[in-house]
Amino acid sequence: GGAHPASAHVRVVRRTEHLASSGTAEARQVDPAAFVDGSDTTPYAALLVQRDILPRDDVQPFLAAAAARGIRVVAEVDDDFFTDSGRERLARAEYDPDRLASIDALVRGADTVVVSTPELADVVRPVARDVVVVPNALDPEIWTAGPTDDDDDERPAGEHRVLYMGTLTHAADLELLRDVFADLTTADGTPIRLEVIGVTDEGGADWFRRVEVPDGHYPAFSRWLVAHRERWRAGVAPLRDEEFNRAKSDLKFLEYTALGLPAVVSDRPSYAVARAHGAVAVPDDAQAWRDAVRTAVDRGRADEGAARWIAEDRTIGRDGDTWRRVLLG
């Protein structure tokens, strides 16, 4: 029914839909049980499996059935599921051991593994047969700016708002912003308020406000953000200097820029390319972050060069042919 996790939409679903709509390939969801027992006799060119979609005990029978029929299996992962520190962090975000074991078995047995960053490729390469980097890209059907809709915004007047959004794996990163946004104001004294979507189970604090987004899977969520983009003056993406974070992608920079927001990010390998295209990368210093956020809020709009780069190089359909070649040769 299309209600996939956000990571599936970003990395797999949106790209596959574009591949199918272009007429290059026919794409369908596979019933793993029917494939393994032979009742699904479709002569697939490739089977694309994302993360832990296969239960742990089903991975080996699925791989064996594909090998027996000469069908390539392409695995897709977009996080560090393999180092000890990565597993510990994911466990805190409710990844149980069976989910992690499923991913490990899939990656070890797949013909090719697709990852989102060179740093993640370095982590995966020792356990995989073949690794290909396909950087994240945005779906233009979702992230192209249209009319705004602020009718349902309940936001206080007399303040500027900064957006931070992410999954629960970023709860520890949020703490980096505590000293940044405490009593932060612009030069004229206007308060700057951090608004958080996702990231933490906390309901809010004296230094940030939690924003509840109407229920909906990733396309609906993204369209809601686009429609309400004038709510914020900037976006932030902090990352602790941890092994798990070194494999993270620059997706937040892409999304903030698509919303028309200047992006302030941690100076980490994840944002090295983004820094060259308009992201403001800040070291681990609260005062440097406060200054950078003030400057971004004063500007209030995305870097034009960044927006152009994303439209030309990091948009699905304009970001090269790697995805098609990985699946179809």
Given pLDDT bands bounded at 50, 70 and 90, which one contains residue 93?
low
Q: What is the pLDDT of residues 164-173, one digit of tens each?
A: 998 766 778 8
SS3 263: strand
Q: Pick the more confident residue, 211 or 31.
A: 31
Q: Which of 17-21, 63-67, 235-239 has the lowest mean pLDDT?
A: 17-21
Q: Do 228 and 256 form a contact (C-beta atoms < 8 A)?
A: no
For the segment 53-62, the average pLDDT, to the nearest whole number, is 95
Given pLDDT bands bounded at 50, 70 and 90, which one contains residue 155?
low
Report the C-alpha gap between 267 and 239 in whole angstroms. Answer: 8
For the segment 231-237, the average pLDDT, to the nearest whole number, is 95
Given pLDDT bands bounded at 50, 70 and 90, which one contains residue 200?
confident
Q: Is 156 exposed, middle or buried (0-12, 13-18, 19+ CB in 10 A)?
A: exposed
Q: Pick the more confident residue, 90 or 235.
A: 235
For the segment 297-323, the average pLDDT, to the nearest whole number, is 93
**pLDDT score of 46:** 96
Given pLDDT bands bounded at 50, 70 and 90, which one contains residue 95?
confident
Report the C-alpha gap between 11 and 213 in whole angstroms. Answer: 22
- What dihedral do alpha carbons 35, 55, 88, 173 form, nearest 10°? 70
Given pLDDT bands bounded at 50, 70 and 90, which one contains residue 153?
low
Q: For the CA atoms of the chain, what is the radius of gyration?
A: 21
**pLDDT score of 150:** 66
SS3 93: coil
Report the C-alpha gap between 78 and 4 in whole angstroms. Answer: 15
Q: What is the pLDDT of residues 248-265, one digit of tens each?
A: 899 999 999 999 999 999
Looking up tokens 């059907």, which residue turns up?
141
Contacts of 224 (CB under 8 A, 6+ apart): 213, 214, 216
Given pLDDT bands bounded at 50, 70 and 90, which one contains residue 146?
confident
Q: Do 115 and 121 form a contact (C-beta atoms < 8 A)?
A: yes
